[in-house]
Amino acid sequence: MSESKHVPVLLERTVELLEPALAGSDAILVDATLGLGGHTEAVLSRFEGVHVIGIDRDPEALRRSRERLAPFEGRVTFFEGVYDQLDEAIASAGRSRVDGVLFDLGVSSMQLDVDERGFSYARPAPLDMRMGREGPTAAEILATYDRDELVRILRTYGEEKHASRIADAVVRRRATAPLRTSDELVALVREALPAAAMRTGGNPAKRTFQALRIEVNDELGVLRRAIPAALEAVGVGGRVVSMAYHSLEDRIVKQAFAGVTSTVDVPPGLPVVPEEMQPRFRLVTRGAETASDQEIEENPRAKPVRLRVVERVKAQRMKEAR
């Protein structure tokens, strides 16, 4: 599938959920994970009054999205950076408040499909895995982290049951030769795992690659900083939309959304909740929405997606606005 024909996951549903927030004549959407610009293209086509602030740490993604979005010149502000720099990106467009923020989390289709990036365990490639241009590569992490740190990231970020066996194998291997390519890492994981683990479905290195990618890009740390910033950035009627692709991301989003849609510090038995104690946001989706069977059949990458949306219903409290 070419990039010009690439259709993002849950595209129509995402635009539908953003519509109430973007109906104004001067609405602003932050596409915090611009990628190839598919969501932004759909929004700009649907809503003539919308301006989009598109954030991406990947310069190649920004180059391609600029080409794709050229027909909308003047309606997009491009920002090269990580999406926890959301406040800076909004300020770069001369704004202090926005009407919507969209997160399409995880690795992009472009990054998976370019062998040189090293995100895929299906094809031989250098072990890079950086979404941008900064920081250590996956190969450097495998070469320098001590055994306990490797166990930690494999267990925490990959939810890998056999983290200790894999970490031990990495340490033994690098004593003689460093791991440089994805196929070398896949082979090492296959050799490290017990026979019973090899009989389960899917590539046995999937969780190891996920863990390394998250560590390389500090994905969970970035998300923990970005979600609160997004919630504070939207005005009344504004919406924050999140699409997560694994349980670790979704848990962070779920907890953050629960925190702003629940009453806090309310004494038990209080007959009426005072206005100042009522939540500032409401849940738009009941739990997490998933892709339809038809979409999953057409695009298998949609299978794990979990979509959550909240809407601001109250302005900031005065003490928070200072």
CA nearest neighbour of 68 among 47, 39, 108: 39
Sheet containing strand 98-104, strands side by side: 76-80, 51-56, 28-31, 98-104, 234-244, 306-312, 281-283
CA nearest neighbour of 29 among 98, 131, 107, 119: 98
Q: State the binding site.
A: 37-39, 56, 83, 104, 111
Token pair 């959304």 is found at: 257
CA nearest neighbour of 79 among 98, 57, 95: 57
CA nearest neighbour of 13 among 47, 39, 45: 39
Strand pairing report for 234-244 and 306-312: antiparallel
Q: State the binding site for S-adenosyl-L-methionine.
A: 37-39, 56, 83, 104, 111
The phi, psi pair for 280, rounded to 5°, reads -85, -15
DSSP string covering 181-197: BHHHHHHHHHHHS-HHH
